Amino acid sequence: MSTVNINVHHVTRVEGHGNIVLNAKNGKIEKCQFDVVEAPRFFEGFVRGRPYTEINHITSRICGICSVGHSTTSAMATENALGVELTEQATLLRKLLFHGEILDSHILHTYYLVAPDFFGAGSVIPLIGINRPVVERALRMKKLAGDLCAIIAGRHTHPVSLVVGGFSHVPKEQELRDMRKQLVDARPDVEASVELFASLDWPKFERDTEYVSLTKDDEYAFVGGRIKTSDGFEYPVEDYKKVTNEYLVPHSTAKWTKHNRDEYMVGALARFNNNFDQLHPKAKEAAAALGMAPKVTNTFLNSGAQIVEIAHCLEDSIRIIDELLERGIKQEKPAEIKTKDGEGWASCDVPRGILFHHYKYEDGLCQEANCIIPTNQNYGNLNADMEKLAPQIIDQPQDKIRLMLEMLVRAYDPCISCSTHLLDVKFV
């Protein structure tokens, strides 16, 4: 029986700092956990006293990869608090921008961070030598996603024009027409991506859990909606604390969450399992090619669900642009804001899962803030997965065990920078 001591200090190809520890003696696992060691940044603490106009631009900086997600959710929560209504055009542009981020983030994760493990490479760079056309496809797709964000908000990382009340800049009709053409031209790249990821030898691992996401009646939910869990619960967003039930654990600088079971999972796989019927037909084809049908309980296939969502978001982006063009683009200004006292909530299902922002305002200044981040909500589930996976692979060579545990962590696409400011703030 094997004795194993694995200590992965700062897991690579993830966003932020986390460690994996596995100790086993004579085949018996003594310790197996994922530690978060990121420097805490205290966003909820330091947005207090700042004007409402700044809050979504500050909280965007929680994460450079899902900055559109944070900025959108934050603006929506502020709009909810101040009673601001968006125009139909601004609502469509928000959804389109959001698709740009889902595409950008999922391409980054699947191609740059996950794929190298399947080719025995330490990063995407050696893959240039092995299969340059595939790397060039990844670069091309990611650039397109970034360009989609840029025509709406100036850039993907830290969107400029996304403001409370709508947008401070509206793309020109010609920019949208050009973008539509590029998206249509990218269809073969998406098909090739489905083919590539369907051909990978995904690790076999099953563990059923509670999957938590947003849901909507009329579309596959990313921006707003109701909270839905695969154990049959539904809540309005303002009841988010009934789902998250946060608690602290000493080895982590992040708060953990649980709902109906000891842990739950959020992210692409949760959305896929909860809202499969609303995916675009081409995304359903992608799922079939990947051998995925709900309910999928293999965590590694969270990356597969991301590929499915890439297919969905590409097609839905084309549809949204068509709708915008049909309506006719108006160079409109953001909604007029009357500052008033109020409290507001919002939720979006960002690339890594369901995200909540919650604020209280007085005289236009933020008094209280609470943000609950997807990666935090996944820690309990990740550790439960590790505890189940480790005994199954404990007799394999140490390098292989280490790789499998790292691949499991990466499957979650953890965004550790995001997750290091914790909450459960009691609003007075």
Partner 1 sequence: MTNNNKVKVAFFDFASCEGCQLTIVDALQTHLDLLDAVEIVQFREAITEKGEDYLIAFVEGSCTRKCDEERLFKIREQAAIVVALGSCAHTGGINALKNIQPSLQGVREYVYGDKADWYETYPTRPISAVIDVDAFIPGCPIDRGEFVKVVKNVLLGKAPGIPDYPVCVECKLKENVCLLLEGKPCLGPVTRAGCGAICPTYGEGCEGCRGIIPHPNENAMKDVLEEAGLSLDEIMARFTMYNAYQAEQIETAEEIV
> Which of residues 165 and 225 has its CB atom nearest to partner 1 in the complex?
165
Q: Report in angstroms how near the CB of residue 72 gets to partner 1 at its nearest.
A: 16
List contacts with partner 1 (CB under 8 A).
Answer: 10, 12-17, 39-42, 44-51, 54, 57-58, 61-65, 67, 108, 112-113, 116, 122-125, 128, 139-140, 142-143, 146, 153-158, 160-161, 163, 167-169, 248, 250, 253, 417, 421-425
Q: Which amino acid is at 135?
A: V
Q: Report in angstroms how near the CB of residue 64 gets to partner 1 at its nearest.
A: 2
| Closest alpha carbon to 102 in 279, 350, 412 | 350
By three-state DSSP, how is residue 356 classified?
strand
By three-state DSSP, how is residue 100 classified?
helix
Query: How do beta strands 18-25 and 162-163 pair?
Result: unpaired
| Closest alpha carbon to 307 in 138, 98, 131, 71 | 138
Q: Report in angstroms how near the CB of residue 127 gets to partner 1 at its nearest.
A: 11
Q: Report in angstroms how near the CB of residue 51 gets to partner 1 at its nearest.
A: 8
Tokens found for residue 298: 């293999």
Q: Report in angstroms how near the CB of residue 242 gets to partner 1 at its nearest.
A: 20
Q: Report in angstroms how near the CB of residue 56 gets to partner 1 at its nearest.
A: 11
DSSP at 155: -
**CA dist 211 to 79, 249, 381, Å?**
28, 22, 10
> Which of residues 280 and 357 has its CB atom nearest to partner 1 in the complex?
357
Residue 176 near residue 321, CB atoms below 8 Å: yes
Chain-centre distance for alpha carbon 68: 10
Rg (CA), the chain: 21
Distance of alpha carbon 261 from alpha carbon 247, whole angstroms: 14
**CA dist 214 to 57, 79, 104, 199, 257, Å?**
24, 19, 20, 30, 16
Q: Phi/psi class of residue 114: alpha, beta or left (left: φ > 0; alpha: ψ in -120 to 50)? A: alpha
| CB atoms near residue 145 (< 10 Å) | 26
Query: How do beta strands 264-265 and 210-215 pair?
Result: parallel
| Closest alpha carbon to 22 in 9, 38, 12 | 9
Q: Report in angstroms how near the CB of residue 111 gets to partner 1 at its nearest.
A: 11
CA angle 155, 409, 303 (to 5 degrees): 60
